[in-house]
Amino acid sequence: MQPRFLKVFEGQSQFPPPFWFMRQAGRYMAEYRALRETAGSFLNLCMNPVYAAEVTLQPIRKFDMDAAILFADILLVPMALGIDLKFENGEGPKLGSFDIEKLQYDQTKLQPVFETLKLLRQALELRNKALIGFAGSPWTVATYMVEGGSSKDFAKVKSFAKNQPAKFQKIIDVIVEATIKYLTSQIDAGAQALQLFDSWASVLDEKEFERWVIKPTGQIIAALKKHNPEVKLIGFPRQVEKELLKKFVSQTGVNGVSIDHTINLEWAFANLNTVIQGNLDPALLLKSQEEIGREAKRIIAAAKGKAFIFNLGHGINQHTPVENVAYLSELIKNS
């Protein structure tokens, strides 16, 4: 029997809609905080297959989502390219400087991730749940590499792309190639769907979006489809405006698109010819159950009969009360 999450991609609308939440494994769960403490650091957690599989499964056991997303991070790819990576408590990621000519993808560094996927696929088969792998999109990964970490204004990376496009193209090409290898191996290790996180796609204008988002995303998807035509590819160009979202869906070859809470769901069903995933505002999970319920019911009603997967518009906030995630999960399942 196929997991309900995957049936949606075969054109079989499901009711209630299958659901999972971005960042469903994480600090809002006491079980996660305990294991992270044992592991000593976030990277140790990612790189230990037994721990990483365990934190991936924690939300599935507790809330019974239809899909589990591999516990890892989009910045493991720059790390495998030879860039120093640190996650300092409360400060977000820090990446070391690099010489473009010397970037070389060493996939042996990511072997634990593939081991995690193998463990997960076995565990999830028993529950008939889908396994989602992921990577960052080249543009978003490049922002962290060029800025050396998180950024508020993306000044460095924007001026780099504008003033030295040939050199920036090289960085994008290196990330594209590494991401294809990384995701191909994720498929081989058992991932049934893959999500490409493009968290910072919205800082680009139309021409830049075509060059740095649509084109590289399309290259990755074409290569993965060639390797395995069955795998489902979900794009997440967060907060981009509607016309660019339409272009993204029609030109990249994605099987589904994740939309944030700023996109109207009716508009998405009418204009995006693909599976829609989304789009509850994660900030609502910090509010009352009455408010969560009202919005969730609106989404579920609007999505009835459509190719839809319930999700959030972005990751779960770490201060989210666990009872609210339980409440939302039960509401979806009992709708």
**Which residue is at the shortest CB distance from ligand CP3?**
199
DSSP assignments along 224-276, one per residue = HHHH-TT-EEEEEETT--HHHHHHHHHHH--SEEE--TTS-HHHHHHH--SEE
Residue 87, exposed/middle/buried by CB under 10 A (0-12, 13-18, 19+)?
middle
In the stretch 138-157, what mask flags binding to ligand CP3 with x, by CB under 6 A? ------------x-------
Per rule CB under 6 A, is residue 218 in the interface with ligand CP3? no
DSSP reduced 3-state for 79: helix
Rounded Cα distance between 59 and 132, Å, is 14
* 99 classed as catalytic: no
Nearer to ligand CP3, 302 or 322 (CB): 322
Considering the candidates 28, 32, 51, 144, report the single residue annotated as catalytic: 144
CA distance 65 to 316: 14
In the complex with ligand CP3, the residue whose CB is nearer, 112 or 293, is 112
Map the footprint of ligand CP3 across residues 288-317, applying CB under 6 A. 315
Q: Which is nearer to ligand CP3, 283 or 301 (CB)?
A: 283
Among 73, 116, 135, 285, binds ligand CP3 (CB under 6 A): 73
Residues of this chain, 177-206, that bind ligand CP3 according to CB under 6 A: 197, 199
| Length, in residues, of the chain | 335
The partner residues of 317 in beta bridges, in order of sequence, read none
The distance of closest approach from Cβ of residue 158 to ligand CP3 in the complex, given in angstroms and rounded to an integer, is 17
Give yes or no for a contact between 88 and 149, defined as CB atoms under 8 angstroms apart.
Answer: no
Return the residue of 3, 17, 18, 26 that touches ligand CP3, per CB under 6 A: 26
Q: Which of 35, 58, 61, 60 is nearest to 48 (CA)?
A: 35
Closest CA to 237 of 279, 209, 211, 265: 209
CA angle 223-226-227, nearest 5°? 90
Footprint of ligand CP3 on 104-143 (CB under 6 A): 134
Whether 73 is catalytic is: yes
For position 23 contacting ligand CP3 by CB under 6 A, the verdict is: yes
Is the distance from CB of 233 to CB of 179 less than 8 angstroms? no
Asked about 36 being catalytic, the answer comes back as yes
Catalytic residue among 4, 36, 66, 198: 36
Residue in 25, 113, 124, 268 binding ligand CP3, rule: CB under 6 A: 25
The catalytic site residues sit at 23, 27, 36, 73, 144
Contact positions toward ligand CP3, by CB under 6 A? Answer: 22-27, 36, 42, 69, 71, 73-75, 87, 92-93, 134, 150, 197, 199, 315
